[in-house]
Amino acid sequence: MVVCGVDVGSRTAEAVVLVDGDIAGYSVIRTGPDSAATAVAALEQALRATSIRSEDIEFTVATGYGRVVVPFAQRNVTEIACHARGSHHLRPSTRTILDMGGQDCKAIRCDERGKVTTFLMNDKCAAGTGRAIEVMASLLQVPLETVGPLSLDAEGRAATISSTCVVFAKSEVLALARQGVPTAEILAGICDGVAERVKGLLRGVGVVEDFVISGGISKNVGVVRRLERTLGVTSHVCFEPQIVGALGAALFARDFLERASAERPGPSVPCAPAASR
Amino acid sequence: MAVPDLKTIQKKVTAGASYRKLVAAAEAGQPICVACAGVPNEVMHAMGVFPIYPESLAAISAGIGKAGPFFEEARARGLSSVICSYTRCGLGICWTRESAFGPLPPPTLAIADVNFCSLHGTWWRYLEEHFGLPTCYVDMPATDDPDAPGYVEYYERQIEAMVEFFERHTACRLETDRLHEAVKQSDRAGFYWKTIMELRRQRPSPVSFRALAGQILPMVISLGDPDAADYYEALHAQYVEDAKEGKTPAKGGERYRLIWNGIPIWHHLQLINYFEERGANFVWEPYTSLNWGNKTKTGRLDLDRPFHTLAEKYTNVITNKTIARRFAYFDEAIRDYAVDGLVMFSNRSCRPMSIGQHELIELIQERHDLPVLIFEGDQADAEGFNWDDARMRIDGFIEVLEGRAARRRG
């Protein structure tokens, strides 16, 4: 059984291909202006190192903000459900998920089957999102992957950044840099701010362990450590936290296909794309 | 007596028809009064004072996508976007003397009440200064016990003061017969509105919150007018028929029954349709029963004590109640209307509606274990609204409801 999950987010898109429940290939690419083309590119890249052809895929579920325009998906499911499903699959004891994406953050609680029981999302503002960290890293000319480790070098000496709004925070960060405040201290202030905002969301749903963080920001050790400390819990991050949503989508695809097969016994055939709901 | 024909009577109470009535009243020399929602309009109707409601005009403008110029006017005059969008848009309307339907006649006086919202006091102060209008401020102090007899009597005296204000500043006089008739018509309208709300207890509920958001207008601006009463009688008859036929706005049948807490999001009312497309129907909202539907102990207005009965009704509003009392209101509705979940609109414009929401959610979840979706946004200002984000939240919430239904089915 070959199924696919595609997660078209605001900053990145991911595809995961499962063969009989095992990950056969996956990809993480930048989202372009055309979500449909991005989804196709993500799938092509996921298949590149495999012998699977796109026509071998029997069912595809799309998720993410671009989920309704993925041309080859038969169904779409929200990333709320997909991140819960993916996290639960990788770690069945998962009960709380924090998906820290490029455009928004979601605090999600799930049950013992990985089904969402409640969730909270941040509002539309970019504060507390991956995009905010990207903007600041670019402003300070620091590689994105070094933001977290550098911020930990200045623990206890974090610069105060009072603006929640990314646009205003940029001005504050520039002013701090001009005053000669060390970059690590500014980054510590940025990571403190992100952790603080996300904490409110998590408290809203209530953190029950195991606590899993998915999405791009989970690669930022500065934010993750601060969150763990402030919440008093240990977090778990999978080998590639950006594909958790796409993995969840692929698992839903498997479910849909199994259900369809059970309802219509006979040889498995690729499903024609259906109109997105 | 035969029930009025809905289509015929509806034409007399639309927003456009109300505007034409306003223009005709001004041309006939009736005093035009800028009034806020919550002022007892039965009294104004009885006295021949014609009201303009900036809040309603703001909501309508937002609903039909014509609020932009009014927000711009408010911005140009230095009002910050953190101020209530009704206030900004409503002031923009008054400053430009324009509405979504055409120019507004010049007002002759103004009246504000703080029963729904304490901001009315500040807002009307602006109007008083800008237009130099005689302005009446009807008081309703904060209290822990709005049902106390002394509190209701206090408001009764406020209504009397309102009459004195109109008599002092206009040639209008209050005649007992006309007040009696206005309260009678208000009682009829309120009775049918309340009965429509009760119809929503049926499964499926035949009523769409999207439709109600428009149908509520005469209840807000025309109580006392017999056309409003006729309209609600006809509307009620239509909903009774729809209920008998099992009609529901929820596509594919009513799978989930929800509460909407807050003012509708006027600039994106299609959001309600999206819930309905996903099989979810709103069956109760505090907003649609704010103080509409004869909110007295008997559910009827006492025609023999018009001021007292109006005071009882107008003081019985959720926004002046404590969190514990608000919870009791929700608790009863959740049971009566067999609710599956709640949508809480955290409205950055409306503190009276949004305050205490977190505590309310905790109390509700403690007793009822119901899922809650929180929407952040604004009632009339579309700035910052993101349809993709809204759809994501609704889809996620429907998935939670589906999961709970599946667990119940085993």
Q: Encode pLDDT of B356-397 as tens digits.
A: 888 999 999 999 999 999 988 999 999 888 888 899 999 999
Query: Chain B contact for A115, CB < 8 A?
Result: yes
Chain B closest-CA separation from residue A198 CA (Å): 16
Place of tokens 């769409």: B208
CB of B110 closer than 8 Å to CB of B131: yes
Q: Which residues does residue B375 pair with via DSSP β-bridges, in sequence order?
A: B345
| One-letter-per-residue 3-state SS of chain B | CCCCCHHHHHHHHCHHHHHHHHHHHHHCCCCEEEECCCCCHHHHHHHCCEEECHHHHHHHHHHCCCCHHHHHHHHHCCCCCCCCHHHHHHHHHHHHCEECCEECCCCCEEEEECCCCCHHHHHHHHHHHHHCCCEEEECCCCCCCCCCHHHHHHHHHHHHHHHHHHHHHCCCCCCHHHHHHHHHHHHHHHHHHHHHHHHCCCCCCCCCHHHHHHHCHHHHHCCCCHHHHHHHHHHHHHHHHHHHCCCCCCCCCCCEEEEEECCCCHHHCHHHHHHHHCCEEEEECCHHHCCCCCCCCCCCCCCCCHHHHHHHHHHCCHHHCCHHHHHHHHHHHHHHCCCCEEEEEEECCCHHHHCCHHHHHHHHHHHHCCCEEEEEECCCCCCCCCHHHHHHHHHHHHHHHHHHHHHHHC
Cα torsion through B267, B268, B272, B275, rounded to 10: -160
Q: Please tell me the predicted confidence (pLDDT) of residue A267.
A: 52
Q: Please tell me the predicted confidence (pLDDT) of residue A126.
A: 61
Cβ distance A117 to B392 less than 8 Å, yes or no, reads no
* pLDDT higher than 70, residue B22: yes
Cβ distance A117 to B400 less than 8 Å, yes or no, reads yes
**What's the rounded Cα separation, in Å, for the pair B81 and B383?**
10
**What's the rounded Cα separation, in Å, for the pair B53 and B51?**
6
Query: Model pTM greater than 0.90?
Result: no
Please compute Rg for chain B using Cα positions.
21
Chain-centre distance for alpha carbon A251: 16
Q: Please tell me the predicted confidence (pLDDT) of residue A272.
A: 45
In chain A, residues with a C-beta closer than 8 Å to the C-beta of B388 are 65
In chain A, residues with a C-beta closer than 8 Å to the C-beta of B386 are 124
CB of A274 closer than 8 Å to CB of A72: no
Cβ distance B395 to A78 less than 8 Å, yes or no, reads yes
Chain B 347-376, residues with CB within 8 Å of chain A CB atoms: 371-372, 374, 376
Cβ distance A119 to B396 less than 8 Å, yes or no, reads yes
Give the closest of B374, B384, B399 to A120, CB-based: B374
Please choose, from the candidates A45, A35, A33, the residue with its C-alpha nearest in 3D space to the C-alpha of residue A71.
A35
* High-pLDDT (> 70) share of chain B, %: 100
**What's the rounded Cα separation, in Å, for the pair B50 and B35?**
9
In chain B, residues with a C-beta closer than 8 Å to the C-beta of A80 are 392, 395-396, 399
Cβ distance A120 to B400 less than 8 Å, yes or no, reads no
CB count in 10 Å sphere of residue B105: 17
Query: Chain B contact for A147, CB < 8 A?
Result: no
Q: Please tell me the predicted confidence (pLDDT) of residue A274.
A: 41
Cβ distance A81 to B372 less than 8 Å, yes or no, reads no
CB of B218 closer than 8 Å to CB of B16: no
Chain B 54-93, residues with CB within 8 Å of chain A CB atoms: none
Query: Chain A contact for B389, CB < 8 A?
Result: yes
Q: Assign A220 to helix, strand or coil.
A: coil
* pLDDT higher than 70, residue A270: no
Query: Chain B contact for A117, CB < 8 A?
Result: yes
Give the closest of B374, B384, B407 to A124, CB-based: B384
CB count in 10 Å sphere of residue B214: 15
Place of tokens 């610069």: A159
Q: Please tell me the predicted confidence (pLDDT) of residue A277.
A: 35
pLDDT, average across residues B244-259: 96
Cβ distance B403 to A116 less than 8 Å, yes or no, reads yes
Query: Chain A contact for B403, CB < 8 A?
Result: yes
Mean pLDDT of chain A: 88
* pLDDT higher than 70, residue A269: no
Amino acid letter, B25: A
Crossing angle of the two packed helices B6-13 and B15-27, in degrees rounded to 10: 50
* pLDDT higher than 60, residue A124: no
pLDDT, average across residues B261-280: 96
Q: What are phi and psi of B5, to 5 degrees?
A: -70, 125
Query: Chain B contact for A120, CB < 8 A?
Result: yes
In chain B, residues with a C-beta closer than 8 Å to the C-beta of A65 are 388, 392
**What's the rounded Cα separation, in Å, for the pair B210 and A200?**
32
Helix (H) or strand (E) holding A76: strand A75-76
* pLDDT higher than 70, residue A273: no
Amino acid letter, A72: F
Query: Chain A contact for B384, CB < 8 A?
Result: yes
Q: What does each C-alpha distance from B23 to A56, A151, B18, B105 come to in angstroms?
A: 69, 65, 9, 7
Give the closest of B393, B399, B407 to A81, CB-based: B399
Give the closest of B372, B376, B406 to A123, CB-based: B376
